[in-house]
Each structure stands twice: as structure tokens, then as C-alpha cells.
Structure 1
């Protein structure tokens, strides 16, 4: 049954193929201009013939047929596409040749961040390039599977980094892309997890007249003493709307005259990337809400008495 399904897939691929791919073919070969490309027919049958798309391939100086191999010499762009091998009129294998343009690109196409050192949380990566439509990534260091882009536009990669030990080996993220014009590239982006840390948005737990209490995001590694965060407050002054900012800890008093504020955090030992800002929070509304809660509690106490 598996062989039948495989042949059906090959047939569907050949019948529906147009001049482009919109996904990664199951079996690909890479060619470079003026180079050689060798294709192998995966079959137990002894005698095979080859087709490029629907055209038969005859032996020539540029197309060498050798046992179950097809060797293309002086490869050119018009030779990109789907190559099938046949035996006794039956399709037995295929290989899709893409033009390899990896030499044009650098690892800067991939960018990754991690909210925490915990390996229970995934690494979040971006990868994009004009002219290419299909992308995939994998964590080669941990031998992870290929990951497709999620609906939110990110790639989420698992990893096995020990959060309590010094990193001895960089993560190696491999990226591949294909275009609608049958072009391909792959790149490798290597980094330590500590180099891509960007905490999630912190939590403002308490806000009073002169004091703000900020807690780490829920995803941040513990204990906090081992993974300390530093915080920055940005606030607007009530009288003139001027925006000011300062670094602080929970023991500091905040300036008077604030209308609203927001907070961001970073690892204070690594001096990691700053987290995104919390939403702006109105200082007076927070105080009034707390006052109403206290008043409601007092009334409840009176009724209970």
C-alpha cells in the first residue's frame, strides 16, 4: 500500500506541476550555473528512462545516462524543474532540481529571540526574503524537525539548553527557502541562547502614590536571585505631558506628578535586549480603583458586624 500511495503522489505531482513550486518537494537536488547535477533513481528495477517534466531525456554530451543515474553537465536555468524516472512504463521515482543561490545570502536573514532560559519555552524566529515564498527552519544542534511558519508569521523552535549550566555549544538554526521561480537557498544562524534573551512584558503588581512594584513575566526563569531583572519606568508628567524615564528597583520611590507610566525589563547580568513596554497605565485611575476596593471592603466589614 505504501508503494502504491507513493506512486500516486508522484503522478499527482507530475500532472499538477506548472512552472513553479509552492512547497518543498519531497526529494530535491540543487544545481549551480555551469556545474554538474547528479540524479539517482531510487528503484530496484534494472533499466530506467528519464523525463524532464513531460519530455523524454536522450543521452548526449550534456545529459549522461549511467546505470540508474542521470548526470547533467553545464547546468543552466532552463534545466530546473521536475525529473522523473520510469521503468517499463511505470513511474518509480522523481527529483526536483532547484537553482541554488545560497551564496547570495547571509545569516542576517534569520533573527531569533527567547523569552527565558527555560527549555520548556520555544525560541521565536523570523525569516523572510523578497522573491521567496516558502520557508522552513530547524534547530540542527538538537536534531529537531523542520518547522513551518505559524499564522502569526513566526517560527517556533524547541531546544534542550540547560538553564542552570554554562552553554558549551551554540545553537545552529538552519533555514531553507524556495521561490515560485524554482530558486533555493539555505543559511545557518549560530548563537548562544544567552545572546538572544528578550524577556516577555513584565507585570505591574502594585502602584501607589510614591511606589511601583514590578514583577518578572510569568515565563521568566527562577529563582529570581539567580536570574535578576532590572526595570525601567517611562512616565508622562501631569502638568506638561513631558515623557521622562529612569531605571529603578522596588525600593525606590517614584516621582510625584505622573499622569501615566509604563515599564520594561532586561536581564541585569547579561544586559540582554529590553522587553517590550507594558501598556500605558493611568496612575490616578489605578489609585481610585484601589480606593474603591478598600471602601467596598470596609462596607462589607461593617455589614458583617
Structure 2
């Protein structure tokens, strides 16, 4: 049995991660971690982050390496070698000491089973995410894009049926690695609770005598038929004196105003559920027919 003691007092930083390593292992702080070199070689040597004298207290025996009392300096890339030949590599990280609480937000533009989730996390971490779908099947890991501690991933649930009642929530599982630590979090939600339509399209205004006729089209991503996936529209118009007035229209895609409006804009949401309103369209000056 070979016992390697960390005699060097400096901190040996772990390699900076840019993608999830093919093989990693999570250990508890101050606990022991056992690594296995995937090889038929009986005698191997080990390095931590390329250093032949790791800081950690290690016990090596054949193809097995035990890290005694895992701490943050002991985290990193452990490689086993047969002479100059690299045999196997395992990235070791420390699990969180308390339950992770991440601010996860998911949003779908319609009931097509596709949505995007975003969350905050350590700036130095990389993340991946996967979905437990509505039929109970487990999706593949999806790499997350991230910048300055903000991360996001897009998903599609192919088993989702927009005409059926959602009986079980989706589960989003997040997994993150920083240079020394492991992060995990899960979130449950129904698609019906995260739908936020895109803005309505093609808002037009036309003077017809003393009336102002307005017409528009639903968001391009909104599903059909319109009778089943009805929308509630919220028109906001500004009078000549600067007063802003709201008008709600159910299902229809046109209306008339008796008042003299200076400009208008429009938003929408699902008529039967109560999710978020879509973003407003830009303000449109009332005058000749225009499209946006």
C-alpha cells in the first residue's frame, strides 16, 4: 500500500472546466472518496491536475485510489497512468453542504411542448439540464449556455399533447460543476402555468368616419384551431390628453373605438388559463393603415 501525503502547502487549483467531463465523481466534504482506474493494469500511478505529488492525502492500491478527507484543495482532475500512458481520468468535486436554491424560470410561447428555462448560478460553473417528460420518460442531458452567472437551455417534450389535460408536472433537473464544487437543483411545473404568448402581429388602424377600426393577428407561434386555443387581447390606447385606456377583447381579432386615440398597442394571453400576458407591441400612431 502506498500512502501519499500532501507535503506542499500551496493550493493547487483545479483545471478550469469548459464542458462536463466524461467521468466525474461527487464526494462529501471531509469524507473519503474511492476512485477506480478503468484499466486491466494492476499497478498504476496517479496525478492530480497534472501534479505527481497531489495535495490530498491519498491511499493507492492497485487500480484503486482513496482520497482521505476530501476538501476543496483536493478537488480536481485525477488521472491514472501506466508509465507515460494515460489510462483513465476522473474529475472529483465536493457536493454542496446545504440544499441548493436556484432561481429557475421557464417560459413557453404556446402549447407545443417546447419551452426555455433560465436560472442563476456561480459565475465559474458550467451546467447541464435534463427533463423528465409528461409520460415519465427521462430526456437526454442538454448543455446549458451561460454568461456572468446566467444560464439557459431549451427543451421539447415530444410526448406532450396540447389537447389533453396535463396530469403530471414536468421535472427539470439541473446539474452544475465549478472547479471544486458540485451543484444540483430540480424544479416541477406544468406547461399550462408557464405559457406566455408572443406579441400579436399585424396591428392595423383605420379611420372609418368617427370610429377607429383596429385589426390584428394572433402570434405566429400560437396553435390552431383558434376556437380551442382562444386568446384574450388587451388593447391599450392613449387619448389626445395623454390618458391611457385599456380595452379587452375575447377571441375576436378586430374592434372599434369611439374615442379619438393618439396611439395604440396590444398584448394577449390565454383566455381559459391565467398565465402571463405577452409583451406589448410597440406603440403605433393612429393614422394611415400600418402593419407591425
TM-score grouping bracket, smaller chain normalisation: 0.7 to 0.9
| TM-score (ref. length: structure 1) | 0.77
| TM-score (ref. length: structure 2) | 0.80
Aligned partner of 1:70 in structure 2 is 65
Aligned partner of 1:165 in structure 2 is 164
Question: For 2:257, what is the secondary structure of its paired residue?
Answer: coil
Question: For 1:284, what is the secondary structure of its paired residue?
Answer: coil
CA offset at residue 234 of structure 1? 1.3
CA offset at residue 145 of structure 1? 3.5
* RMSD of aligned Cα (Å): 2.8
Aligned partner of 2:199 in structure 1 is 201
Deviations 1:10-39 (A, max 9, x none): xxxxxxx96532332222112231122221
Greater share of helix: 1
Question: For 2:256, what is the secondary structure of its paired residue?
Answer: coil
Greater share of strand: 2
Distance of 1:256 and 1:153 partners within structure 2: 46
Aligned partner of 1:124 in structure 2 is 116
Distance of 1:265 and 1:63 partners within structure 2: 62
Distance of 1:153 and 1:94 partners within structure 2: 27
Matched-pair contact (CA < 8 Å) for 2:15–2:77: no
**Cα 1:55/1:203, change in 2 over 3 Å:** closer
CA offset at residue 214 of structure 1? 3.0
Distance of 1:132 and 1:204 partners within structure 2: 43
Q: Is residue 269 of structure 1 aligned with residue 247 of structure 2?
A: no
**Cα 1:90/1:76, change in 2 over 3 Å:** same
Distance of 2:185 and 2:69 partners within structure 1: 25
Aligned partner of 1:284 in structure 2 is 287
Distance of 2:239 and 2:66 partners within structure 1: 73
**Cα 1:261/1:130, change in 2 over 3 Å:** farther
Question: For 2:98, what is the secondary structure of its paired residue?
Answer: helix
**Cα 1:64/1:133, change in 2 over 3 Å:** closer
Aligned partner of 1:81 in structure 2 is 76
CA offset at residue 66 of structure 1? 4.3
Matches within 5 A, 1:243-254: 243-249=244-250, 250=252, 252-254=255-257
Structure 1 residues 229-238 or 241-250, which shifts more?
241-250
In structure 2, list runs of 5 or more residues that go unmatched.
1-12
Structure 1 residues 211-220 or 269-278, which shifts more?
211-220
Aligned partner of 1:98 in structure 2 is 93
Aligned partner of 2:37 in structure 1 is 41
Question: For 1:105, what is the secondary structure of its paired residue?
Answer: coil
Matches within 5 A, 1:122-201: 122-141=114-133, 142-149=138-145, 154-160=152-158, 161-179=160-178, 181-201=179-199
Q: Is residue 23 of structure 1 aligned with residue 19 of structure 2?
A: yes
Aligned partner of 2:104 in structure 1 is 110
